[in-house]
Amino acid sequence: MIEKWNFSDLPQHFDAVLFDLDGVLTATASIHAVCWKRMFDDFLKKRALQENDFYQPFDIEDDYKRYVDGKLRYDGVRSFLESRGIELPEGSPEDPLEKESVSGLGNRKDRMLKEVLETQGVGVFEGSLKLLRKVREAGLKTAVVSASKNCEAILKAAGIEDLFDLRMDGVEAARLNLPGKPAPDTFLEAAKMLDVEPSRAIVIEDAISGVQAGRAGAFGLVVGVDREGDPEGLRQNGADIVVRDLGELTDSY
């Protein structure tokens, strides 16, 4: 049984809540996973034909969670390729979509995602929105900490960009040369910019790499949101508590 938060007492223990985006606030994690699979499967099929080798497709349940979920785009490409023993040149962010490089593959996935967002829009988890509003009403600062370079566009499409004091996304991480999750650097930088001690901040994540980052940063509380039916995986990697939906922590769930 998950104990509901007492929002009137919350400011005695914490000053800020740092939210991941995809899978925590917005229902975009599944879209990301499908786009990653489409991109990698196209690449792997072509490579298998060229090298007369066995074609092993990208597995959403295993490969996505283990190598890609929650990571900066190019880090995700690099991590998955390494798992298959595939070496490609790094390339640059300006690489065209057809280029066989880490950046080129990442750019292909990004184009797919943008096309889906333009046609399907963005859904918001109501339980997360309720918690977010209650946290702000209690006087805590709020930030989005996401690996996505599309974070700003997604927040605007969801109509929730005004509910955050700070956005630390893939664009800012690249500008500041910060490593992505599971390194804690983006969370720590967000706390620093909010003028909040990590021990006085809550991290909310749905990805293994995200809860690992929250634990590595010694944050006061790490909340895991279990969208994939793997609560133990989140607990074992750093989540202090795990919920199926953030609405479980509010009175209105």
Active-site residue, from 9, 15, 20, 42: 20
Active-site residue, from 22, 75, 169, 226: 22
Residue pLDDT, tens place only, 107-159 = 999 999 888 888 877 889 999 999 999 999 999 999 999 998 889 988 988 89
User: Is 15 known to be catalytic?
Assistant: no
Residue pLDDT, tens place only, 43-82 = 999 999 999 989 999 999 899 989 998 888 999 999 999 9
Distances (CA, A) of 83 to 23, 41, 243: 24, 15, 30
Residue pLDDT, tens place only, 28-47 = 878 888 999 999 999 999 99
User: Is 63 known to be catalytic?
Assistant: no
Angle at 191 between CA 185 and CA 193, to 5 degrees: 100
**pLDDT the model gives residue 218:** 98
The strand pair at 221-225 and 241-243 is best described as parallel
pTM above 0.75, yes or no: yes
The strand pair at 221-225 and 141-145 is best described as unpaired
Residues 83-105, mean pLDDT to the nearest whole number: 96
